[in-house]
Amino acid sequence: MRTRCQLVCTAGALVIAAFCLLHTARSVSAAADGKITGTVKLEGTPAHQRPIDMAKEPYCQKLHAGHPVTTETVVTGPNGTLKNVVVYISEGLAAAASSQVPSETPTWDQKGCQYIPHVMALDVNQHFKVTNSDQTSHNIHPMPKPGGPNHEWNKSQPIGAPPFDVSWQAQEVAIHVKCNVHPWMSGYMAVVKGPTGVSDDHGSYTLDQVPPGDYTLTAWQETYGTQTQKVTVGAGKPATADFTFKAK
């Protein structure tokens, strides 16, 4: 009789524990379900993008024959939308939410003597892959702020070299990356704690996994600098925050 009672009690306790666990998991999931979306636009005439002369690298010059590429310091889309803008939460994110490191490993490719993507957002300590898709050697030379917590390095990646895996140890918006062999190659890595997004061809961005709360959002563009605005994310209610940069 006593054994049966013990069994029933244990089973009951297990059911309650399982229920609590499930409930907590759902709460966490709901907490991180929030979303911030928006569009980034440019008002005024965008800075002139000069054509890139790749004559010193015949491989890449031939690759772009007929459709020469230009610099990418300002890239606009339809209706004055602005590409390659990094949007991130600069204030208000709880330590727990900002300490989660995404498991995805994005790729920083060197293709056609250009960086693909031109701007990449990463979390602190998030691993990313550096690849060379070109039939020419590149040197990858990220230049974090001198004296800051991230440190400059410079690695060669010859033709056919395997990808290598790296990460940045501290927040920094943004780290300029260059190739000394091909001086026109220029790109940026934005290292940010917590959810972040980069505006696409239509100027749209999305920040996923944002817990409900009041935040300050910052948008960074390599030529026009930064802008901030406040935003509130409600439970299960996506927030919208549009940015407009003014051409200098």
Partner 1 sequence: MPKKTIFLSMPALVFLGSILAVAQNSGVASGYPVRKGDLTEQQRTGEGLYRRYCIGCHGDKGDGNGENAPYIDPKPRDFTLAQFKCRSTPTGTLPLDSDLIHSLERGLRGSNMPSWLPLSSENREDLVAYIKTFSPRWKTEKPGAPIEIPPEPEVTADRVKAGQQLFQKLECWKCHGVEGRGDGPSAPTLTDSKDRPIPPYDFSQGHKFKCGVTDEDLFRIFMTGLDGTPMPSFADNVKPDEAWELVFYLRTLQPMKTKEKAIAKQLGLKPINPETNSSSAPQ
Q: Which two tokens stand for residue 68?
A: 């020469």
Q: How far is the CB of 84 from partner 1 (least distance, A)?
A: 23
In terms of CB distance, is 30 or 143 closer to partner 1? 143
- Out of 23, 155, 230, 248, the residue judged to bind partner 1 by CB under 8 A: 155
**105 within 8 A of 86, measured Cβ to Cβ:** no
DSSP H or E run through 7: helix 2-31
161 binds partner 1 (CB under 8 A): yes
Return the residues of window 182-211 that contact partner 1 according to CB under 8 A: 182-183
End-to-end CA distance of the chain: give it in Å, rounded: 84
Strand partners, 244: 41
84 vs 89: CA distance, rounded Å: 17
The single residue listed with the structure tokens 């929030």 is 34
By CB under 8 A, what part of segment 31-70 binds partner 1? 56, 58-59, 62-63, 65
Size of the site for partner 1 (CB under 8 A): 30
The CA–CA distances, whole Å, from 56 to 53, 71, 90, 127, 182 equal: 8, 16, 41, 33, 8
Window 127-146: contact mask with partner 1 (x via CB under 8 A): --------xxx-xxx-x--x
State which of residues 44, 158, 225, 234 lies at the interface with partner 1 (CB under 8 A). 158
Residue 12 interacting with partner 1 (CB under 8 A): no
Chain residues binding partner 1 by CB under 8 A are 56, 58-59, 62-63, 65, 135-137, 139-141, 143, 146-147, 151-159, 161, 164, 180-183
